Structure 1
Amino acid sequence: MVLYQKKGRFIMKLKVGVQLFSVMTELANDYLKTLENVAKAGYKYVEYVDVPGNSPEEIGNKVKELGLTAIASHVHFDPFTSTHEDMVKIVEDNVKMHSEAIILPMGIMTTMEEIKTVAAACNEMAALAKAHGMAFYYHNHCQEFYQVEGKTAYEWLVELTDPELVFFEVDTFWATRGGQKAVELIKKLGSRAKLIHQKDMGKSADPINLIEGVTDLTRENYCEKIFGRTNPTDICTVGTGIMDIPEIVKTVTELDYAPYIIVELDCCARQTEEEYNTPLSPFASIKASREYLESVIG
Structure 2
Amino acid sequence: MDKFYVQMDSFSRQLVHDYEGVMTKIAQLGYNGVEIFYGLHGGYTAEGLKKFFNSINLEVISSHVETEDTEENLKYLPRTGCKYIINPGLAVTNVKEAYETAKFLNDMGRKAKNAGMKYGYHNHSNDFLKLGDKMICDILIEETDPELVAFELDIAWAYRADVDAAEYIRKYPGRFELIHVKETKEFPMKLDFMKPIPKDKQGEKDISGWPKLDPEAAKKLDEGLSINCELGKGIVDMRAVKMSADAQPCTPLYIVERDYAWTGDIFTTLAADAGYLRAL
Q: Same fold (TM over 0.5)?
A: yes
Asked whether 1:200 is paired with 2:188, we answer no
Matched residues, percent identical?
29
For residue 206 of structure 2, what is the aligned residue in structure 1? Answer: none
Q: Are the structure 2 counterparts of residues 137 and 237 from structure 1 closer, same or farther at C-alpha, using a change threshold of 3 Å?
A: same
Where does structure 1 lack aligned partners over 5 or more consecutive residues? 1-12, 272-278
Which amino acid letter does the alignment assign opposite residue 51 of structure 2?
N
Q: Tell me if the contact between 1:22 and 1:264 (Cα under 8 Å) persists in the aligned partners.
A: yes
Matches of 1:117 and 1:32, distance apart in 2? 41
Q: Tell me if the contact between 1:32 and 1:59 (Cα under 8 Å) persists in the aligned partners.
A: no
For residue 251 of structure 1, what is the aligned residue in structure 2? Answer: 244
Aligned counterpart in structure 2 of residue 92 of structure 1, from 75, 81, 90? 75
Asked whether 1:43 is paired with 2:31, we answer yes
Matches of 1:134 and 1:126, distance apart in 2? 8
Which amino acid letter does the alignment assign opposite residue 177 of structure 1?
R
Aligned counterpart in structure 2 of residue 65 of structure 1, from 42, 46, 55? 55
User: Secondary structure of 1:122's partner?
Assistant: helix
| Runs of 4+ with deviation above 6 angstroms | none
Aligned counterpart in structure 2 of residue 141 of structure 1, from 81, 106, 124? 124
Bigger mean CA deviation after superposition, 116-125 or 99-108 = 116-125
Q: Are the structure 2 counterparts of residues 206 and 136 from structure 1 closer, same or farther at C-alpha, using a change threshold of 3 Å?
A: closer
Q: Are the structure 2 counterparts of residues 117 and 27 from structure 1 closer, same or farther at C-alpha, using a change threshold of 3 Å?
A: farther
Q: Tell me if the contact between 2:4 and 2:255 (Cα under 8 Å) persists in the aligned partners.
A: yes
Q: Tell me if the contact between 1:193 and 1:258 (Cα under 8 Å) persists in the aligned partners.
A: no
Which amino acid letter does the alignment assign opposite residue 37 of structure 2?
V
| Greater strand content | 1
1:264, CA displacement in angstroms?
A: 0.8
Q: Tell me if the contact between 2:169 and 2:245 (Cα under 8 Å) persists in the aligned partners.
A: yes
Matches of 1:245 and 1:66, distance apart in 2? 29
TM-score, normalising length from structure 2?
0.82
Which amino acid letter does the alignment assign opposite residue 107 of structure 2?
E
1:217, CA displacement in angstroms?
A: 6.1
TM-score, normalising length from structure 1?
0.77
Q: Are the structure 2 counterparts of residues 174 and 281 from structure 1 closer, same or farther at C-alpha, using a change threshold of 3 Å?
A: same
Matches of 1:101 and 1:218, distance apart in 2? 26
1:88, CA displacement in angstroms?
A: 2.8
Q: Tell me if the contact between 2:176 and 2:252 (Cα under 8 Å) persists in the aligned partners.
A: no
- What per-residue deviation string (whole Å, max 9, x for no partner) do you get for residues 21-80 of structure 1? 111211233333321121121111211112455144243332122221211111122xxx
For residue 208 of structure 2, what is the aligned residue in structure 1? Answer: none
- What per-residue deviation string (whole Å, max 9, x for no partner) do you get for residues 236-260 of structure 1? 2323333221221222223352332
Aligned counterpart in structure 2 of residue 54 of structure 1, from 19, 43, 48? 43
Q: Tell me if the contact between 1:177 and 1:210 (Cα under 8 Å) persists in the aligned partners.
A: no
Asked whether 1:219 is paired with 2:196, we answer yes
Residue pairs, 1:267-286, within 5 angstroms: 268=260, 270-271=261-262, 279-286=263-270
Matches of 1:244 and 1:33, distance apart in 2? 34
User: Secondary structure of 2:16's partner?
Assistant: helix
User: Secondary structure of 1:191's partner?
Assistant: coil
User: Secondary structure of 2:110's partner?
Assistant: helix
Which amino acid letter does the alignment assign opposite residue 291 of structure 1?
G
User: Secondary structure of 1:234's partner?
Assistant: coil
Which amino acid letter does the alignment assign opposite residue 101 of structure 1?
Y
Q: Are the structure 2 counterparts of residues 39 and 217 from structure 1 closer, same or farther at C-alpha, using a change threshold of 3 Å?
A: closer
Matches of 1:14 and 1:153, distance apart in 2? 33
Where does structure 2 lack aligned partners over 5 or more consecutive residues? 203-220
1:138, CA displacement in angstroms?
A: 0.8
Asked whether 1:22 is paired with 2:10, we answer yes
- What per-residue deviation string (whole Å, max 9, x for no partner) do you get for residues 249-287 of structure 1? 222223352332111112x1x11xxxxxxx241111111
Which amino acid letter does the alignment assign opposite residue 234 of structure 2?
G
Count of residue correspondences: 256
For residue 265 of structure 1, what is the aligned residue in structure 2? Answer: 258
Aligned counterpart in structure 2 of residue 232 of structure 1, from 200, 225, 228? 225
Matches of 1:64 and 1:127, distance apart in 2? 29
Q: Tell me if the contact between 1:123 and 1:162 (Cα under 8 Å) persists in the aligned partners.
A: yes
Matches of 1:65 and 1:198, distance apart in 2? 26
For residue 291 of structure 1, what is the aligned residue in structure 2? Answer: 275
